[in-house]
Amino acid sequence: MFFATLIWGSIPLFSIWCELPSPVFVFFRVFFAFPFMLLYSLKKLGKRELLNIKPALPIVLSGVALSLNWIFFFWAIQITDIATAVVLYYFGPVFTIILAVIFLKEPLTKTLIISTVVAFLGAFLTFAPSIQGSGSLFGVLIALLSGLLYGLLGFISKIATLHHSSIKLTTYQIFIALFFTLPFIFFFPFALSLYTLILLVITGVIHTALALFLWYDSLNYISVSTSAVFSYLDPFFAIALGFIFLGQKPGLFQIIGGILISISGIMISIEESRR
């Protein structure tokens, strides 16, 4: 699980190095990942179970939400710094909880209220430099939108997993994202060098298929609450790698905001795992 989060933490670097429009980058990511996810799902679930997609609507909607949240996230990476993009992206789970409380009538506990307030404070601190004119406000807004879409993905996936396993759902999400992003490659100008193609293969095979395999396999050995803590290593790896390889030094507000949002997310995840 540690290596899975480390791999995911490095993907912002690859999206920058590829120098592709974000929808095109997402297309190639899922294009190279899907065959491996399909084989893994067939091995774990069998053909009959994998083809049982009723009800299909939550699967389709979650695939569209996955596509949009990745497109806006990698767009944010391109127009603002990695620290801002990943911190606001991980604001998403709080939005998931808000939607679940409103539409699924899930109980609003004291822990969820506290974690939501903490997350909003963290998001505000991340916003602060842009409000003061020292950052890209548009980039921040795109990053926040990617986080909201991440939260929407979590909400729809929560509904979908009432009927389907997480492995099956993820496989179909990638499959749907493949078709959702396909039209973009005909509308956005881009060029594929051998260097870029190698990066894209690594992104699909390593960052998507292998990382998901490591994540799902590790859940056989550790608890869900422990995995929740590990999942919030991802943004810190991303920020650290952005500093090491790109010289993007996070500001004090970003660091504090990231810590607050991570604490909030861990509190929410542990609360969820206890139900």
The answer on pLDDT for 41 being more than 90 is: yes
The answer on pLDDT for 130 being more than 90 is: no
Mean pLDDT of 192-212: 94
pLDDT of residue 170: 93
The answer on pLDDT for 90 being more than 90 is: no
For the stretch 67-76, pLDDT in tens is 999 999 999 9
Q: 50-57: long-range contacts at Cβ-Cβ below 8 A with a sequence spacing of 24 or more?
A: 50/168, 50/171, 53/164, 53/172, 54/163, 55/163
The answer on pLDDT for 55 being more than 80 is: yes
pLDDT of residue 117: 86
The answer on pLDDT for 199 being more than 90 is: yes
Overall pTM surpassing 0.75 (yes/no): yes
Count: domains in the chain: 1
| Comparison of pLDDT for 111 and 166, the residue scoring more | 166
- Extract the tokens encoding 149: 């879409």
Which amino acid, one-letter code, is at 260?
A: L
With cut-offs at 50, 70 and 90, classify the pLDDT of residue 91: confident
- Extract the tokens encoding 7: 């791999």
High-pLDDT (> 70) share of the chain, %: 92
3-state SS class at 133: coil
- Extract the tokens encoding 103: 């539409």
| Comparison of pLDDT for 80 and 227, the residue scoring more | 80
Please give the C-alpha separations between residue 217 and each of 29, 98, 154, in angstroms, as whole numbers: 21, 30, 20
| Comparison of pLDDT for 272 and 123, the residue scoring more | 123
The verdict on whether omega for the bond into residue 55 sits within 30 degrees of 0, i.e. cis, is: yes
| Comparison of pLDDT for 45 and 261, the residue scoring more | 45
Sign of CA dihedral 243, 246, 247, 252: negative
The answer on pLDDT for 152 being more than 70 is: yes
Mean pLDDT of 93-114: 80
Domain hosting 265: range is 2-273
With cut-offs at 50, 70 and 90, classify the pLDDT of residue 234: confident
Mean pLDDT of 108-120: 82
Q: How many CB atoms lie within 10 A of CB 85?
A: 32
